[in-house]
C-alpha cells in the first residue's frame, strides 16, 4: 500500500458507511462490528486530518471533505469489483492495439470494425489512429498498417492491398477531359515526410505528359492536412483531387465520385506490420487474418 494512502480497511469502511449513510449497515456489509467500523472511520479522519462526517442525532451527513473522497472511492471500488468479476467468470480478454493513419481509420477500417468480434472471439481491438509511426518494438501498439514499399527494419510486413492514385471528382463538375483540368481547383493533402515518392499532382502531371496540361499549375489549389477532409471537399464539388482509389472505393462504386481520366499512379501498398519477435503470436495472427478478410470483402 502506498505510504501516501490511508489503510485500505479504513477507506473501505468509509465508502460503505457513506453509501449506506449508516455505520450499522456498513458493518453488516463488511461482516464486522459497528464498533470496528467506527474505529476505522476515526483512524481515517486522523490520517487525513479532516472530518468526513457530521454526526447528527440519528443520522450522518457527509462534510465537504467527505463529498470529495466518496465518489473517488466509489469509482475505485467499482473498478476493483469489475476486475475481480471478470477473472472469476473466466472472461479476462486480451487486447490488441492496431495503429493506423487517420484517413485509413476513418475511410476503410472503422466502417468494417463491427465484424471484428465474430472473426476474433476472445479479443478486444483498440484502434490507435495517428499519422505518426508508433514504436512497435516498445509495444506502443501490437500491429500497425503502414504505407510504403514493405521494408522496415525489425518489422515483419505482410502485403495488405495495393494503392493506386488518380484524379477524382464529383460528377457535378462534368469533367470529361484532361484539357479541362486547369479550369478547376486542384485538391491536395499532406503526405508524411518519410514518403520518398508521394502521389502528388506534380508527379501525375509529369507522368501524364499531356500537351493540355502545359498551363496546369500542379502546385496550386486547396491544401488539407487530413486526407479525410480532402475527400469531403471533393465530394462537395470543391475541386479535383489526386486520391487513393482504395480509400474511396465505396464512393466510386456508388457514383458519388468519378475517375474521369488517367493515368493511374502506382504509388505503393499498405502492409500489416508487427515486431519481428512477435509475428507468430496467435492473437496477432488472428487480427492479421481479419484484416486480410476485410480487403477480400472490399474487393
- 71-108, pLDDT tens digit by residue? 999 999 888 888 887 777 655 568 899 999 888 898 88
Assess contact for 178 and 212: CB atoms under 8 A.
Answer: yes
Global pTM exceeds 0.75: no
Same fold, 94-160+270-298 and 162-267: yes
Judged against a pLDDT cut of 90, whether residue 288 lies above it is answered with: yes
Residue-level pLDDT at 142: 94
- 142-176, pLDDT tens digit by residue? 999 998 888 899 999 999 998 899 999 999 999 99
Domain limits, the chain: 8-88, 94-160+270-298, 162-267
Residue-level pLDDT at 271: 94
**Average pLDDT rounded to a whole number, residues 124-141:** 89
260/98 Cα distance (integer angstroms): 35
Mean confidence (pLDDT) of the chain: 88
227/233 Cα distance (integer angstroms): 10
Architecture category of domain 8-88 in CATH: Orthogonal Bundle (1.10)
**Average pLDDT rounded to a whole number, residues 266-276:** 90
Residue-level pLDDT at 1: 44
146/98 Cα distance (integer angstroms): 11
Region for residue 145 given its phi and psi (left: phi exceeds 0; alpha: psi -120 to 50; beta: otherwise) = beta
- 111-126, pLDDT tens digit by residue? 888 898 888 888 889 9
Among 3.40.190.10, 1.20.1440.20, 3.30.70.240, 1.20.1600.10, name the CATH number for the domain at 162-267: 3.40.190.10
Judged against a pLDDT cut of 90, whether residue 133 lies above it is answered with: no
Q: Does domain 94-160+270-298 have CATH number 3.30.2350.10?
A: no
Amino acid at each position: 500500500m502506498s505510504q501516501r494512502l490511508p489503510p485500505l480497511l479504513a477507506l473501505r469502511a468509509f465508502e460503505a458507511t457513506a453509501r449506506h449513510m449508516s455505520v450499522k449497515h456498513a458493518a453488516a456489509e463488511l461482516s464486522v462490528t459497528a464498533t470496528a467500523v467506527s474505529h476505522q472511520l476515526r483512524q481515517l479522519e486522523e490520517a487525513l486530518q479532516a472530518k468526513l462526517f457530521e454526526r447528527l442525532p440519528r443520522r450522518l451527513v457527509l462534510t465537504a471533505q467527505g463529498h470529495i473522497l466518496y465518489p473517488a472511492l466509489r469509482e475505485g471500488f467499482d473498478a476493483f469489483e469489475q476486475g475481480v468479476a471478470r477473472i472469476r467468470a473466466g472472461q479476462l480478454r486480451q487486447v490488441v492495439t492496431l495503429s493506423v493513419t487517420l484517413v485509413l481509420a476513418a475511410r476503410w477500417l472503422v466502417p468494417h470494425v463491427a465484424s471484428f468480434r465474430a472473426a476474433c472471439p476472445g479479443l478486444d481491438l483498440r484502434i490507435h489512429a495517428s499519422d505518426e509511426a508508433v514504436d512497435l518494438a516498445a509495444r506502443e501498439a501490437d500491429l500497425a498498417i503502414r504505407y510504403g514499399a514493405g521494408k522496415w527494419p525489425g518489422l515483419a510486413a505482410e502485403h495488405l492491398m495495393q494503392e493506386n492514385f488518380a484524379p477524382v471528382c464529383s460528377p457535378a463538375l462534368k469533367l470529361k477531359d484532361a484539357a479541362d483540368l486547369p479550369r478547376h481547383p486542384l485538391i491536395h493533402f499532406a503526405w508524411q515526410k518519410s514518403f520518398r515518392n508521394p502521389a502528388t499532382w506534380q508527379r501525375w502531371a509529369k507522368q501524364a505528359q499531356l500537351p493540355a496540361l502545359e498551363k496546369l499549375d500542379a502546385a496550386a489549389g486547396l491544401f488539407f492536412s487530413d486526407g479525410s477532409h480532402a475527400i469531403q471537399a471533393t465530394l462537395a464539388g470543391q475541386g479535383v483531387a489526386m486520391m487513393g482509389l482504395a480509400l474511396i472505393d465505396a464512393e466510386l462504386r456508388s457514383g458519388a465520385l468519378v475517375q474521369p481520366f488517367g493515368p493511374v499512379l502506382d504509388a505503393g501498398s499498405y502492409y500489416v506490420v508487427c515486431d519481428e519477435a512477435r509475428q507468430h503470436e496467435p492473437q496477432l495472427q488472428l487480427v492479421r487474418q481479419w484484416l486480410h478478410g476485410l480487403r477480400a470483402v472490399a474487393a
